[in-house]
């Protein structure tokens, strides 16, 4: 019984973990982690899907270019961008 309980606890914590947005461009990830207002609200150095979904603005395209960002993979998680 103890093994079953331990297994269930382990599996529930595994499935309850936050989904992290895949951001392969280090410059893009760095820009997001240093964004103002803060996107990485839990301070874990990753952008979770739930954190990305509340963002409505990221800034101008020229600001992104000035930061050396070449790949915007992961931007699709920011579903509420208006600007």
State residue 2's pLDDT score: 61
Task: Name the residue ranges covered by the structural domains of the chain.
Answer: 19-77
Q: Are 73 and 23 in contact (CB under 8 A)?
A: yes
| Helix residue ranges per DSSP H, 1-83 | 2-16, 26-33, 49-53, 61-66
Q: What is the pLDDT of residues 66-82, one digit of tens each?
A: 888 889 999 999 999 98
Residue 78, both tokens: 């920011």
Q: What is the pLDDT of residues 13-70, one digit of tens each?
A: 544 456 999 999 999 999 999 998 999 999 999 999 999 999 999 877 667 778 888 8
The reported pTM is 0.74
State residue 55's pLDDT score: 94
């Amino acid at each position: 019984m103890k093994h079953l309980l331990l297994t269930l606890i382990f599996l529930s914590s595994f499935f309850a973990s936050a989904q992290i947005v895949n951001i392969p461009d280090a410059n893009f990830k760095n820009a997001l982690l240093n964004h103002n207002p803060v996107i990485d609200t839990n301070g874990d150095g990753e952008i979770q899907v739930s954190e990305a979904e509340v963002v409505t603005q990221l800034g101008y395209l020229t600001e992104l270019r000035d930061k050396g960002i070449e790949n915007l993979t992961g931007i699709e998680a920011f579903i509420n961008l208006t600007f």
